Structure 1
Amino acid sequence: MPYDLNQPPSPQHRPSRHASRARGGALVAVAALAAATLSGCGGPGGAAPAPGGSAQGAGGTPSVAPSGSAPAAGGSRAPGGTGTPGPPSGDAKPSTPGRGPLAGRVVVIDPGHNPGNFRHAREINRLVDIGTNRKECDTTGTATNDGYTEAAFTLDVSHRLRTLLEKQGATVRFTQDDDRPFGPCVDERARIGNEAAADAVVSIHADGSGSGNRGFHVIHPALVERGAADTRGIVGPSRELAERIAGKFVRATGSAPSNYVGGGTGLDERGDLGGLNLSTVPKVFIECGNMRDAKDAALLTSSQWRQKAAQGIAEGIGSYLLG
């Protein structure tokens, strides 16, 4: 994700564009929706994290090699063949823009990890500069106990999300689509969004925390100004993008915000992720659920739920872009 970080963000990405919008209301709305979700579904609420159950996703997920054979190129099927991935878009190749409310907007979708990463340990373990320190190029991601990999999940949701955004006229680019042996590294993932001058970038993940830790959370960048990292121009817009996605994700999926990260808000601010530190455009990560928890895993492996997840993310992006 190396790019020219000395160049200031374009006006449409400056915090002043969104400074007049109240953020407290968005958080209250997420909390209220979460309460309704919990009362309606009997989901976990405020359960104590399992020992050692800190957030592991978004570049920190345990490296879990998938069981069974790797998915075919462009494939991202869950057990039982429930996935319905679209055709590969090609690394960072744009879709054909259409007509609709998002016409003229560029969205970069960053499917976390890569199905081939586990075959390239040496390459993905190479350290890259993320501004605050040096970190591994990428990881394999996590997997459910039945072997459904995070890399397969992220591609499936990303394909669904692309279809929804293109129907609204957006130009969509992927950072990877299982069209390369491994990676890209976290610094290159950020560079792809920067060079596309994206109006929004969303990195799709699923967490690898302890059993009993449930729910989703959206990670947004902390204020970082060190080395190649300078998030001053994107902290505000990225926070709003995170809030919009969190609120819509609750409505679309019925899932509650994480019971182990974010204090029930569904939001988590971090300054240790290269994909966020090195971004010069509004960017967030979403951990859609915890693959290591059986109840969350049942959702993540459901094609119907993955469609709802994509719908929630798409609605959140659209709400952010349209104001």
Structure 2
Amino acid sequence: MSLKRLLCISFVVLAFTSLFLSVIGNAAVQDVLRLDEGTSYVLNLETGSKQTYTEFLNSKQFEGHKLEFNVYVRKTGNPILDDYVLELRTNLDNPEWKFGDTIYHGASVLVWKGKAEHEALVPKIILSGNVPAPIQIIREPGFEAYKEITGIGEKPVEVVLTVGTTRDGTTLDTFIQKLEPSMKFFATNEGIQDAKSKVESNLEEARDKIGGTNLEEDIRRLSEEGHPGWASLLSQHYKELSVMVEQPPLTLYVILSVLLGLIVGAAFIYVYVSRGAGKGVDVGQISTELNDTSGRLEEKSSAINALSTRFARSEDDEKRRVARELIKIRASLNEISNEIRTIADKIKGPR
């Protein structure tokens, strides 16, 4: 055989080998199965509710409820190699799988094995299991090196279907395709949901009084990252603290400022006149103005009375306490008003 002929044969063999490897490579990366989201659904065997696959994604399910997943899968038409298998995996409690006529128990099982099953229609996959306890791995600030710290929270739960190959018949050796979207939802319970609602309510009420703070965000993170009980308790204390540091109403500031001006002015006039510095002034006019001042004090006293009445009707303990203090202030103002009238009479009398 001539060298030229040998080179031609070698070239042809190399070309066919490259083509064969290319076909195998393309088959390995192509999707061979597709999840039918429109047909698949989930039953809650505790409540009797039924949701489509899409509706159930990222939902919150109560601890202990038994769920049944009915999953439909179809072939895409791409080449399926004989050693392909389908892994069914979940972290539900007490999982039971049904694939065709065969029932499996375990968090992870391999099905759809061999050419005969590959050529047939993919049977419906049925999974039943219980929603696990809402215990999750948490991250403690400053202690990130500890990876196994657990807390109470909305635990991610998954149902994952993966095409791959296996050597030992029990675990995947290579991963070919993960069917998307994989079913993901969250395990929770009524206590967690109630605590989160209470936290948000308390934080919102505090924010209305003192605005947003870093402490508010820290309490919210505490709730979301494994400590809903502590977060609920701290949010209650935070709300109570916000009431104590809440700024008094602007109306109260205005009233007190005006009152202070009236009282100081009246006292100055009395001292000025009583010490003789007011010789030649119209004491009758001064007396009249003092009486007017007394009248304005009574008007402001009435305004304080209206404000205290509104505060007294509040469900907030701190506002009711402020109302009691305002009543005391009003009583003192009435006394001051009477004293100013007395001063006016004294100024008018000696002259």
Shared fold, TM over 0.5: no
TM-score category, normalised to shorter length? under 0.3
The structure in which a higher percent of residues are helix is 2
What is the TM-score normalised by the length of structure 1?
0.22
Q: Determine which structure has more spread, i.e. the larger CA radius of gyration.
A: 2
Query: Greater relative contact order (Cα 8 A, min sep 6): structure 1 or 2?
Result: 1
The structure in which a higher percent of residues are strand is 2
